[in-house]
Homo-oligomer: A and B are copies of this chain.
Amino acid sequence: MIKDNYKRIPKHIGIIPDGNRRWAENNKLEKHKGYTHGIKPGFQLYEIMLEYGIKEATFYGFTQDNTKRPKLQTQAFVKACVDAVEILANRDANLLVIGNTKSSVFPNELLKYANKRVNFGRGLININFLVNYDWNWDLNYAINGINSYKNKKTNIYDHIASVDISRIDLIIRWGGRRRLSGLLPVQSVYSDIYIIDDYWPDFQKEHFLNALDWYQTTDITLGG
């Protein structure tokens, strides 16, 4: 197995596929045309993650804040997310879509995958897809609509909207920005963060391999 060549394989990888609009501009396309070029890289990475024995991956689809962008762009990234899921439905994954389904911008096509994990094929990897996600919505879920936590020993992680998403070991961000942009604040507290300057549509296998090589050099302390 390839994975035997590595001392550490992250169990759960977070993917921030940024730079689609900047890629489009560099390629003399209108900004919104970039998103559709982000689908193929996602499946290239999916295949590589299967090859390397990754058990769980979270893709940052779009956020509620993102939907304040021009309508043409919003429509384009929503469509790219729907198209990606429809392709994934013919592969071998367990899909969990997490996001605010109560907003009109949440795509109807994805409602059947929202907030419960759905099996496709042989279910070789857990894929989490953040669709109309918002960090504040995720955390507020723990404090809104509840009766009382009084006198109960309880932990916020058990009550957030993304409770079914595990802690992230490694976050890989494309597009050069060095920040988390609200990606799962609870699950990312101890994540190692690797930044790739290339834009997401320019994904190459080497990006993943470089991240994995770097990950070998980090230690896990979980704050200890």
Contact = CB atoms under 8 A, between A and B. Distances in A.
Interface of A: 63, 65-66, 68-69, 135-136, 139-140, 142-150, 154-157, 159, 177-182, 185-186, 188-195, 218, 221-224
A218 B197 CA distance: 13
Q: Chain copies in the assembly?
A: 2
A132 B42 CA distance: 41
B144 A149 contact: yes
Most buried by B among A149, A182, A195: A149
A78 to B, nearest CB: 16
Contact of A190 (B143, B179, B191, B194): B179
For the residues of A in contact with B, the DSSP-based class is loop
Contacts of A185: 185-186, 188-189
Contacts of A136: 155-157
A143 B159 contact: yes
B156 A178 contact: no
A143 B143 contact: yes
Contacts of A145: 149-150
Contacts of A192: 177-179
B223 A65 contact: yes
A193 to B, nearest CB: 5
A69 B222 CA distance: 12
A139 B188 CA distance: 14
